[in-house]
Amino acid sequence: MSEHVRIESGGGVLAITLARPERRNAITVAMYAALADAIEQAQADPSLRLITLGGEGEDFTAGNDLADFMAAMPRDGEEIAVWRLLRALAVNELPLVAAVHGNAIGIGTTLLLHCDLVLAEEGTRFSLPFVDLGLVPEAASSLLLPRLAGRRVGARYLLLAEPFGPEEAREWGLVSHLVPKGALNQALADTVAALLAKPAAALRMTQKLLRHGNRDEILERFEMENGHFAERLQSAEVKEAITAFFEKRKPNFTG
């Protein structure tokens, strides 16, 4: 497990917290592995009734820790922890509630597509900057985002990489609850209490029915996206985007 992922279990709830606030909860390879382990293992624990996911500090997550990720780039056909996490989210059979605040960048937005309820604090900023980094979407977001929001909105966020707020996200269905500033923890506690008060078997079966019919299609899209993503990691465009990021300048893709 990673020291930057806090796992707490009790009262039927597995609470997962990204706990690297000094780096805006940027996710490392070790953190991805810890997240995947936690969600995979939860499926076999009969004492658990739901999973919560949140972030410590000012942000939910700034997305990938780019330096860590590039240092551990996969070789041809190699499995990486982030893909294992995404599969775990796609096949998860416990209600999953995310509490989001601050910045939710990249995978910080796309993983929410696999949550059952998403509570977002006012002022949350979502962003999908994959194209800006020379990459392609992941987490089946090229399938799920247009399905939720429509193709034009999906293109706006994935092609132009425009950031958006929780009000807009709630309009098209990424966010289930908009929470006033400073009230996120209480809203999460209230939502957890409401779910725990319901009959466990009925709740779990309903969660499965809500997801029924999507799993195979999502897993197939994972494979397609992941293949392109791995190819892009070797590209000159990605190298320029990452170099420009660390040099704090605009990338030059005209060459």
Q: What b/e readout covers 201-226, taking b as 16+ CB neighbours within 10 angstroms? A: eebbeebeeebeebeeebeebbeebb
Distance CA 82, CA 30 (A): 9
pLDDT number for residue 255:
65
- Do residues 204 and 93 touch, judged by C-beta distance below 8 A? yes
Q: Is the pLDDT confidence value at 212 over 80?
A: no
Domains and CATH numbers, the chain: 1-181+200-255 (3.90.226.10)
pLDDT number for residue 74:
61
pLDDT number for residue 70:
77
The pair of three-digit structure tokens given for residue 188, joined into one six-digit string: 């999460």
Mean pLDDT (whole number) for 50-79: 86
Q: Is the pLDDT confidence value at 72 over 80?
A: no
Identify which of 114, 127, 128, 131 has the alpha carbon closest to the alpha carbon of residue 222: 114
Q: Is the pLDDT confidence value at 14 over 90?
A: yes
pLDDT number for residue 75:
62
**107-111, 128-132, 243-247: lowest mean pLDDT where?**
243-247
Q: Is the pLDDT confidence value at 22 over 70?
A: yes
Percent of the chain with pLDDT over 90: 86
pLDDT number for residue 183:
98
Mean pLDDT (whole number) for 152-170: 97
Distance CA 61, CA 49 (A): 25
The pair of three-digit structure tokens given for residue 181, joined into one six-digit string: 């500033």
Identify which of 104, 110, 96 has the alpha carbon closest to the alpha carbon of residue 188: 96
Distance CA 2, CA 45 (A): 21
Q: Is the pLDDT confidence value at 119 over 90?
A: yes
pLDDT number for residue 254:
84
pLDDT number for residue 68:
87
Longest CA span, the chain:
60
pLDDT number for residue 135:
95
